[in-house]
């Protein structure tokens, strides 16, 4: 039987793995036009030097490309937004996020690695967003902290587990973001995309519905039900063209470069309205290699891909509390950590 463990503020859900005879069609597949690598931008200068690349890159991340007059969720209630806040969203009416929040139709994904600072997530939830916080350090698989704030014991990677590893560890807590979108039913529905038609040989009678998630036990019956591999789905199947992630916040401690590359290559970006993430510059990052100048060129090329996908930089925050290092060097008056805010100008 499924179990619900409740306290005054927290609801923890757990359920056993039911005995099912399941058949399904895949939820997600790469389109024929998908790429295997990003297109590198030309070198910043003829010398292909670190000085040239660093100068171009730091100038790029420090220069906003679009003006945003209203920032941060707090400004919805107080109109006291501050450009100095590291985690900020753009609430100008032309991009529609403020409208989504007021109508309780906003969805935020927060990707983290054990951070105790959830002020941004709590603020967005209090203002009307459905917030999903992904953190591998969470004690239970899914925790409902309040009506709109979920914690999931999952970490976002730039690759799914190898099939051989997945077979040995079927409950692995590492996924690509595109896989998470499919499993949670938050992916974009295309005309020829199967949502996953699970044929149940047995379906139990009781259904436990909690905001954002649906947990089902089995009863003797036959039928078809749209569910997913982990028993998690949205309140309703998403209709074609509806916004999927209004805000994606990411603090991945140097995994951001490879995760961002994956979002670009698998065309997940179009399902994101605003992208707010930390970048770490004190070392190349996980699985990023090459000379210092080629590393910075790769970083720059990734961010240019955002621009090519109609994202514009509306916010840049230089963290002076972090070591002032750039690829392990005290150079260029650079911090080792910046927070960047990008808005998808296609979303109106």
- Residue 193 corresponds to which tokens in the numbers above? 């995309």
| Per-residue confidence (pLDDT) for residue 167, from 0 to 100 | 43
For 186-214, what is the mean pLDDT?
34
Q: What percent of the chain has pLDDT over 90?
A: 44
Residue with more model confidence, 178 or 296: 296
* Long-range contact pairs involving 62-67 (C-beta distance under 8 Å, separation at least 24): 62/316, 62/318, 63/313, 63/316, 64/313, 64/314, 64/315, 64/316, 65/307, 65/312, 65/313, 65/314, 66/312, 66/313, 66/314, 66/343, 66/345, 67/314
For 87-101, what is the mean pLDDT?
92
How far out from the chain centre does Cα 81 lie?
23
CATH number of 37-191+241-344: 3.40.50
Is residue 115 very low, low, confident or very high in pLDDT (cuts 50, 70, 90)? low
User: Is pLDDT at 91 greater than 80 in this prediction?
Assistant: yes
CA–CA gap between residue 226 and residue 242 (Å, rounded): 18
Query: Mean pLDDT in the chain?
Result: 73
The pLDDT tens digits for 216-270 are 332 222 232 333 333 333 333 333 334 589 999 999 888 899 999 999 998 899 9
The pLDDT tens digits for 47-76 are 999 999 999 999 999 999 999 999 875 545
| Per-residue confidence (pLDDT) for residue 253, from 0 to 100 | 86
């Amino acid at each position: 039987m499924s179990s619900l463990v409740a306290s005054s503020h927290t609801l923890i859900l757990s359920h056993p793995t039911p005995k099912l005879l399941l058949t399904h069609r895949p939820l997600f597949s790469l389109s024929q036009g998908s790429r295997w690598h990003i297109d590198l931008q030309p070198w910043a200068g003829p010398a292909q030097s670190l000085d040239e690349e660093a100068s171009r890159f730091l100038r790029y991340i420090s220069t906003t490309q679009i003006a945003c007059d209203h920032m941060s969720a707090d400004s919805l209630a107080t109109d006291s937004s501050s450009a100095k806040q590291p985690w900020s969203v753009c609430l100008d009416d032309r991009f529609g996020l403020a409208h989504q929040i007021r109508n309780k139709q906003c969805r935020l994904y927060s990707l983290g690695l054990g951070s105790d600072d959830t002020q941004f997530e709590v603020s967005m939830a209090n203002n009307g967003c459905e917030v999903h916080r992904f953190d591998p350090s969470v004690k239970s698989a899914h925790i409902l902290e309040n009506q709109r704030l979920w914690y999931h014991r999952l970490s976002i990677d730039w690759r799914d587990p190898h099939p051989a590893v997945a077979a040995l560890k079927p409950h692995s807590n590492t996924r690509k973001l595109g896989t998470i979108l499919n499993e949670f039913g938050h992916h974009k529905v295309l005309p020829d995309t199967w949502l996953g038609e699970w044929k149940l040989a047995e379906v139990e009678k009781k259904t436990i519905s909690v905001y954002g998630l649906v947990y089902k036990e089995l009863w003797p019956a036959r039928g078809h039900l749209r569910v997913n591999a982990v028993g998690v789905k949205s309140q309703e199947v998403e209709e074609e063209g509806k916004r999927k992630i209004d805000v994606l916040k990411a603090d991945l401690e140097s995994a951001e470069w490879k995760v961002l590359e994956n979002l670009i290559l698998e065309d997940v970006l179009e399902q994101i309205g605003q992208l707010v993430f930390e970048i770490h510059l004190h070392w190349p990052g996980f699985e990023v290699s090459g000379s210092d100048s080629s590393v910075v060129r790769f970083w720059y090329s990734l961010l240019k891909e955002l621009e090519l996908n109609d994202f514009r930089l509306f916010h840049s925050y230089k963290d002076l509390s972090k070591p002032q290092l750039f690829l392990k060097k005290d150079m260029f008056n650079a911090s080792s950590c910046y927070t960047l805010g990008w808005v998808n100008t296609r979303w109106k």
